[in-house]
């Protein structure tokens, strides 16, 4: 039995405070959060400890961007009454669970997470051969498991972290969740299959539970199905024992893959702070216009009378995000026939971005004018998050035999 079938779904996601948020965050993450908060119980947090794993040499950017980031969330429509908003480092249970999980997590599981080597390659200028950096996917597991979250909205690059979380949860439940009586009964049942089969069963079970080996699980199921000499009850016991069968203290979460198309930036590459091609969430209308007006276009259009090819133009990519079919046809035809100029072509994009940003900018004002309001929202979110996290830690300590007081 899976705990997630017993409890309503709970969504958790975190974001690193690494500077001003831009349209890429809005289309890639925040719009999704806004929608999820109406469907599920949601926990959204500022992953400040995560930011430290890469930015430990100059942590000022973290403190500098936290409040602006929260304002950006609220401005985008993330809602304090629908979601709990908090800061990771203000819920120390994340750290305690991270520590406890570190005891049972094989080093190889962390070394094999693809982002470990990738990020070290990408951020060559920083020394990421640290204990904290190796362990950061496990910190993420603790973030997720401390709330018994069942759904985690993430991009493709983070799916491996959810997979790790599932394996860690499974190992935890395997080590600390089984009920002595149940295990004994299952052991006795296994022996009834004969020495050789019992040994095989236990080996396959171990491979599935400790390493997440699904082939082993399938083989074990086949083995059980082929047994003629065991009772139905014993068979059910052995099936249950195979997949855990004991108590599920930490439920296995699922990745909720965000299928947001990559938001194109001002230069046609993915919008990202490191490329300097962003439009901020609270960008002023004049600044939006200026940025779009100075965007590069198809280099073939030197003069107004030179026809162009939208496929070679980053503005065209923004039309894909913002324009109706009608406007897209107008732009493509006008470009290919030199019927319109690039400035003309850019205007509907400018208008659409400003239309999107106007309510965001307005909502932000309420919070920039009132910093205490933001502090209070976070204080309340931290408290609510802590209540849940403390409950989980009580159970975890007890399961691990740490409840001597
Ligand atoms: N690791 C994520 C990132 O770098 C942020 C994050 C931390 C997170 N903890 C999380 C996301 C838990 C989802 C769930 O973007
Ligand atoms: Fe790009 Fe539009 Fe100019 Fe064509 S007309 S090059 S699509 S900006």
How do residues 326-380 score in pLDDT, each as one tens digit?
999 999 999 999 999 999 999 999 999 999 999 999 999 999 999 999 999 999 9
Do 144 and 228 lie in a common domain? no
Q: How far is the CA of 133 from the centre of ligand 1 (A)?
A: 13
Q: What's the confidence (pLDDT) of residue 241?
A: 87
State if residue 55 touches ligand 1 by the CB under 6 angstroms criterion.
no
Can you tell me the distance from the alpha carbon of 75 to that of 280, in angstroms, rounded to the nearest whole number?
Answer: 12
Q: How far is the CA of 46 from the centre of ligand 1 (A)?
A: 9
Do 130 and 26 lie in a common domain? yes
Do 344 and 308 lie in a common domain? yes
Q: Is residue 99 part of a domain?
A: yes
Longest dimension (CA), the chain: 86
Q: Which of 234-238, 247-251, 394-398 has the highest mean pLDDT?
A: 394-398
Q: How far is the CA of 322 from the centre of ligand 1 (A)?
A: 28
Do 355 and 300 lie in a common domain? yes
Residue 5's pLDDT band, with cuts at 50, 70 and 90, is very low
Backbone angles phi, psi at 12, to 5 degrees: -135, 135
Residues 201-210: contacts with CB within 8 Å, 24+ apart?
201/238, 201/242, 204/242, 205/241, 205/242, 208/242, 208/243, 209/170, 209/171, 209/174, 209/244, 210/171, 210/174
Do 66 and 142 lie in a common domain? yes
**Structural domain tally of the chain?**
3
Q: What's the confidence (pLDDT) of residue 180?
A: 67
Q: Is residue 274 part of a domain?
A: no
Please say if the pLDDT value at position 116 is more than 80: yes
Q: Is residue 276 part of a domain?
A: no
Do 96 and 75 lie in a common domain? yes
State if residue 313 touches ligand 2 by the CB under 6 angstroms criterion.
yes
Q: What's the confidence (pLDDT) of residue 2?
A: 38
Q: Is residue 337 part of a domain?
A: yes
State if residue 313 touches ligand 1 by the CB under 6 angstroms criterion.
no
Do 167 and 18 lie in a common domain? yes
Q: How far is the CA of 115 from the centre of ligand 1 (A)?
A: 12
Do 186 and 135 lie in a common domain? no
Q: What's the confidence (pLDDT) of residue 364?
A: 97
What is the percent of the chain with per-residue pLDDT over 70, rounded to a whole number? 96
Ligand 2 atom nearest residue 295's Cα: 8
Average pLDDT, the chain: 92
Q: Is residue 357 part of a domain?
A: yes
Residue 225's pLDDT band, with cuts at 50, 70 and 90, is confident
State if residue 281 touches ligand 2 by the CB under 6 angstroms criterion.
no
Q: Is residue 318 part of a domain?
A: yes
Closest CA to 51 of 148, 126, 145, 114: 126
State if residue 396 touches ligand 1 by the CB under 6 angstroms criterion.
no
Please say if the pLDDT value at position 322 is more than 60: yes
Which ligand sits nearest to residue 302's alpha carbon?
A: 2
State if residue 342 touches ligand 2 by the CB under 6 angstroms criterion.
yes
Q: What is the CATH number of the domain that holds 291?
A: 1.10.240.10
Please say if the pLDDT value at position 292 is more than 60: yes
Do 136 and 210 lie in a common domain? no
Do 148 and 214 lie in a common domain? no
Q: Is residue 272 part of a domain?
A: no
State if residue 348 touches ligand 2 by the CB under 6 angstroms criterion.
no
Do 81 and 115 lie in a common domain? yes
Q: What's the confidence (pLDDT) of residue 358?
A: 97
Domain boundaries, position 394? 3-177+251-261+371-399
Q: What's the confidence (pLDDT) of residue 262?
A: 81
Please say if the pLDDT value at position 3 is more than 60: no
Q: How far is the CA of 47 from the centre of ligand 1 (A)?
A: 7
State if residue 143 touches ligand 1 by the CB under 6 angstroms criterion.
yes
Which ligand sits nearest to residue 17's alpha carbon?
A: 1
Q: What is the CATH number of the domain that holds 79?
A: 3.40.50.620
Q: Is residue 68 part of a domain?
A: yes
Which ligand sits nearest to residue 336's alpha carbon?
A: 2
Do 161 and 302 lie in a common domain? no
Q: The whole model's pTM is what? A: 0.84
State if residue 140 touches ligand 1 by the CB under 6 angstroms criterion.
yes
């Amino acid at each position: 039995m899976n705990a997630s079938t017993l409890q309503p779904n709970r969504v958790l996601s975190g974001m690193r405070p690494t500077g001003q948020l831009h349209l890429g965050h809005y289309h890639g993450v925040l719009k999704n959060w806004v929608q999820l908060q109406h469907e599920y119980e949601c926990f959204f947090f500022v992953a400040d400890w995560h930011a430290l794993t890469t930015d430990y040499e100059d942590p000022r950017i973290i403190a500098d961007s936290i409040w602006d980031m929260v304002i950006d969330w609220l401005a985008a429509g993330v809602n304090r009454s629908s979601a709990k908003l908090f800061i990771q480092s203000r819920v120390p249970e994340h750290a305690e669970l991270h520590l406890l999980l570190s005891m049972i997590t094989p080093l190889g599981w962390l070394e094999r997470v693809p982002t470990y080597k990738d990020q070290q390659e990408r951020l060559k200028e920083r020394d990421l051969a640290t204990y904290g950096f190796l362990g950061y996917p496990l910190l993420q597991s603790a973030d997720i498991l401390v709330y018994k979250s069942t759904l985690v909205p993430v991009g493709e690059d983070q799916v491996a972290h959810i997979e790790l979380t599932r394996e860690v949860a499974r190992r935890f439940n395997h080590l600390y969740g089984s009920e002595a009586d149940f295990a004994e009964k299952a052991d006795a049942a296994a022996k009834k299959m004969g020495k050789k089969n019992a040994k095989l069963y236990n080996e396959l079970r171990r491979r599935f539970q400790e390493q997440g080996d699904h082939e082993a699980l399938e083989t074990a199921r086949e083995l059980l199905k082929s047994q003629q000499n065991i009772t139905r009850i014993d068979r059910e016991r052995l099936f249950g024992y195979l997949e855990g069968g004991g108590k599920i203290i930490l439920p296995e979460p699922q990745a909720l893959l965000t299928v947001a198309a990559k938001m194109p930036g001002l230069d046609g590459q993915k919008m990202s702070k490191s490329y300097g091609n962003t439009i901020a969430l609270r960008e002023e209308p004049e600044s939006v216009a200026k940025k779009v007006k100075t965007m590069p276009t198809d280099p073939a259009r030197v003069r107004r009378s030179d026809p162009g090819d939208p496929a070679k133009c980053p503005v065209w990519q923004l039309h894909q995000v913002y324009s109706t079919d009608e406007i897209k046809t107008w732009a493509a035809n006008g470009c290919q026939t030199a019927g319109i100029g690039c400035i003309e072509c850019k205007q509907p994009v400018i208008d659409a971005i400003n239309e999107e940003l106007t309510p965001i900018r307005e909502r932000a004002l309420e919070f920039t004018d009132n910093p205490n309001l933001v502090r209070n929202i976070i204080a309340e979110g931290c408290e609510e998050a802590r209540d849940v996290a403390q409950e989980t830690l009580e159970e975890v300590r007890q399961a691990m035999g740490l409840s001597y007081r």
